[in-house]
């Protein structure tokens, strides 16, 4: 066994470096750790303690590049965890405020998740994981207990499930 401790960072090739930098900074709250013209114009962005969480690299031929699809083999989405349920509600409101379409919201029993896309169509998830979630599935099998949650659009009130206390004590 290698002994990995966490995912270090994601390297993301983008069609428009400035547009993606603005999205990850202004919508998702990343901070720019470094943008070095001598280092290929890459943008190294962080969510906190580590030097970089996501690196943005300008695609050399974005007009002819293939975009992500639901049918390709490879990465399905990148997930970002928030620290409490109120932060998930804030994330939902922030996404709508910035005109980001929330494609779906799911109650996975162990967590509640929002799914959406970045400007290049890369699938993203923001989720809150309930405390003790590992113990919910002691046999190692989560089972198929996902529940679709209502999704509202810009200008509409937030869905009611965001105002409910969650998780509910059993």
What is the phi/psi pair of residue 111, to 5°? -160, 160
How many independent structural domains does the chain possess?
A: 2
Same domain, residue pair 52 and 82: no
For residue 104, pLDDT beyond 90: yes
In terms of pLDDT, which residue wins out, 7 or 140?
Answer: 7
**Catalytic position from the list 18, 66, 125, 164:** 125
* Structural domain range at position 118: 78-162
Q: Give the model's pLDDT for residue 144.
A: 60
Average pLDDT over residues 46-65: 88
For residue 51, pLDDT beyond 90: no
**Is residue 43 included in any domain, yes or no?**
yes
Which pTM does this prediction carry?
0.90
d(CA 144, CA 141): 9
**Is residue 69 included in any domain, yes or no?**
no
Average pLDDT over residues 83-95: 96
Same domain, residue pair 103 and 55: no
Q: Annotate 50-63 with b (16+ C-beta within 10 A) or e (fewer).
A: eebbbbbebeeeee
**Is residue 149 included in any domain, yes or no?**
yes
8 Å CB contact between 28 and 35: no
Average pLDDT over residues 117-133: 92
Same domain, residue pair 92 and 156: yes
Same domain, residue pair 156 and 121: yes
Same domain, residue pair 118 and 53: no
Same domain, residue pair 55 and 98: no
Average pLDDT over residues 63-85: 89
CATH of the domain at 133: 3.10.180.10
**Is residue 2 included in any domain, yes or no?**
no
Q: Can 125 be counted among the known catalytic residues? A: yes
């Amino acid at each position: 066994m290698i002994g990995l401790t966490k995912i270090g960072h994601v390297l993301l090739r983008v069609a428009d470096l400035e547009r993606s930098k603005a999205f990850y900074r202004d919508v998702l709250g990343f901070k720019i750790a470094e943008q070095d013209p001598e280092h290929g114009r890459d943008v190294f962005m962080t969510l906190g303690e580590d030097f970089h969480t996501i690196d943005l690299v300008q695609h050399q031929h974005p007009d002819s590049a293939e975009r992500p699809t639901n049918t390709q083999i490879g990465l399905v989405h990148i997930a970002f965890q928030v620290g409490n349920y109120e932060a998930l509600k804030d994330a939902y409101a922030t996404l709508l405020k910035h005109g980001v379409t929330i494609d779906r919201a799911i109650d996975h029993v162990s967590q509640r998740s929002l799914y959406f896309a970045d400007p290049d169509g890369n699938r993203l998830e923001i989720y809150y994981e309930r405390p003790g979630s590992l113990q919910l599935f002691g046999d190692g099998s989560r089972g198929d207990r996902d529940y679709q949650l209502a999704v509202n659009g810009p200008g509409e009130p937030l869905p009611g499930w965001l105002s409910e206390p969650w998780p509910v004590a059993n």
